[in-house]
Amino acid sequence: MKKFNYKITDPVGIHARPAGQLVKVANQFDSEIVISSGSKRVDAKKILAVMTLGVRFGQEIKVTISGADEDAALEKISAFLKENL
């Protein structure tokens, strides 16, 4: 199991376009990928779930990845967040 925290730097927060792109990246992996914000935990492979988090600029999310390809998923998800959010 791999975990990391990321602080959202996009002025709009996690909105539709990057949320959709994040889901596409997450779906490339077999591992379970969960995003947490506060007490909410959602499946990163489901667009509506990611959107319901309502994460805004400056908020921190926690990403938890577990599965056979968790190392590759960690690298790709982390890179995506840094480049887009």
pLDDT digit string, tens, across residues 19-66: 999 999 999 999 999 999 989 999 999 999 999 998 999 999 999 999
In which band, very low, low, confident or very high, does the pLDDT at 11 lie, cut at 50, 70 and 90? very high
* CATH (domain of 13): 3.30.1340.10
Among 15, 56, 62, 76, the one annotated catalytic: 15
Is the CB of residue 74 less than 8 Å from the CB of residue 28?
no
Q: Cα separation of 13 and 63, whole Å?
A: 16
pLDDT for the residue 61: 96
pLDDT tens-digit series, residues 60-81: 999 999 999 999 999 999 999 9
Q: Could you tell me the residue range of the domain that residue 18 belongs to? A: 2-84
Active site residue 31: no
pTM above the 0.75 mark?
A: yes
As for how many domains the chain has, the answer is 1
Residue 6, classed as helix, strand or coil, is: strand
DSSP alpha helices (H): ranges in the chain? 16-26, 47-52, 70-84
DSSP 80: H
